[in-house]
Amino acid sequence: MALRETKTKLGKVVAWEFRRAVMNKGFVIMTVLLPALIGLVILIYGLAEGRGASSVPSESLPPFLIAVFLALILFVGAFISGVIVFYGVLKEKASRVVELVLSSVSPQEMMAGKIIGLGLAGLVQVTVWAVLAYFAARRFLPITLSGLSPMQLVTYPLYFVFGYLLGATLYATAASTMKDVHSGGAQGMVGLIVYLPMVFLKVLIEHPELPWVRAAGFFPPFTPSVMMIRMAVTEVAWWEVAL
């Protein structure tokens, strides 16, 4: 009974956070109106230039470029969603909304609901932009998913989702330790830890079998990006993927 009640409360918090996020004017502009406008411009430009699918080179891009593309989308999406969660937690703490919410749910339920709800809203936004970027790029570049292995097709979405939620969790945890946005800059920087692999992108691509590169793939904040790139440029043992 207690577990069912907890799930019900958590579901309500998730639904409330998700609904509040998607009904925000900025979310609608960035997720619906702006992508639609950009897509229309690309379509008109392609028709005006007479550039169709037949004019795109038939040879596909290397798989590692697709992995880098997905990793970049993950970083940008996790950063945007993480910042939204970060300032959302701080804003509610400053306005004492937390005190009202805690009267009906536990702190753990509230934090989990906020991370999942805002994370799902951000994931919707990132998915829209990723689909737009994919089809826009296909008009000018030979991009295809046929070069990806079955293991990549299965693991890439999982890495993407878990990495995305991990970034949001780090930001929410940092915000929960701060009184306001000016009280601690160091805590706010903790979410940037997931972006460190991009600093060593060249090494990841050229030397994916280095011991420290393989070890980085087992460190949760680095796992999504490191493993996506390693799987694209070299053979990765199944047990490494499972871990």
Contact indicator for 17, 114 with CB cutoff of 8 Å:
yes
Domain boundaries, the chain: 2-242
Cβ burial 155-173 (10 Å sphere, 16+ → b, else e): bbeebbeebbbbbbbbbbb
Global confidence as pTM: 0.68
| Residues 80 and 122: beta-carbon distance below 8 Å | yes
CA of residue 12 relative to chain centroid, distance: 23
| Rg for the chain, CA atoms, rounded | 20
Tens digit of pLDDT at every position of the chain (243 positions)? 555 666 677 787 788 778 877 887 777 777 777 777 877 777 776 676 655 444 555 555 666 677 677 777 767 777 777 777 777 777 766 665 555 665 677 777 777 887 788 778 877 877 887 787 777 777 766 666 666 778 877 887 788 778 777 877 777 777 777 766 665 555 556 667 777 787 888 888 888 888 898 888 888 888 888 888 888 788 888 788 777
